[in-house]
């Protein structure tokens, strides 16, 4: 039996997952990270993507996240997501709305740092939408 650790996925609205897991695949700006029990401490920024939670051999759950932070230590991992949903609740209409929201915020922003962050978010969302659409078609 694989070692487990505590994982929690939190959005501003609710806790989407809390429990013991064997692994978590995290989409960070630095690249995708697979977290296992005993992982070295890390704090990283999330990008738009899928968090894959392996609860045990053959069983997993997927979540869509758009921004936030992940904190990893040897016995626990916590994701504080700006936005998170169960993957079943995501479709092209949801992604189109996320893109429109980011575009609207970008158009109204006068802060250079915020504009860069929103531009990066738009690139990530558009890229994810393409991958997501292909995945759903397969």
Reported confidence tier of residue 41, pLDDT bands at 50, 70, 90? very high
Query: Which residues does 121 contact at the CB level (< 8 Å), separation at least 6?
Result: 48, 66, 67, 102
pTM, two decimals, is 0.87
The mean per-residue pLDDT over the stretch 100-112 comes to 93
Interval 94-99 mean pLDDT: 93
CA distance 100 to 94: 10
Kindly report the number of other CB atoms within 10 A of residue 62's CB atom. 13
Predicted local distance difference test score (pLDDT) of residue 133: 84
| pLDDT per residue as tens digits for the range 57-93 | 788 999 999 999 999 999 999 999 999 999 999 999 9
Q: What is the pLDDT of residue 135?
A: 80
Q: In the structure encoding, which two tokens stand for residue 33, read together?
A: 């990270």
Tokens of 131: 């991958």
pLDDT at 137: 78
- For residue 1, the model assigns a pLDDT of 60
Backbone angles phi, psi at 111, to 5 degrees: -85, 125
């Amino acid at each position: 039996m694989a070692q487990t650790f505590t994982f929690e996925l939190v959005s501003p609205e609710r806790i989407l997952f809390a429990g013991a897991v064997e692994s978590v695949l995290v989409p960070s700006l630095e690249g995708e990270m697979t977290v296992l029990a005993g992982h070295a401490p890390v704090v990283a920024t999330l990008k738009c993507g899928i968090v894959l939670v392996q609860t045990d051999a053959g069983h997993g759950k997927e979540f869509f996240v758009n921004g936030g932070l992940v904190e990893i230590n040897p016995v626990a991992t916590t994701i504080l997501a700006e936005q998170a949903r169960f993957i079943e609740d995501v479709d092209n209409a949801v992604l189109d709305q996320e893109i429109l929201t980011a575009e609207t915020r970008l158009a109204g922003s006068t802060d250079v740092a915020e504009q860069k962050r929103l531009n990066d978010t738009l690139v990530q969302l558009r890229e994810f939408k393409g991958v997501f659409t292909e995945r759903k078609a397969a």
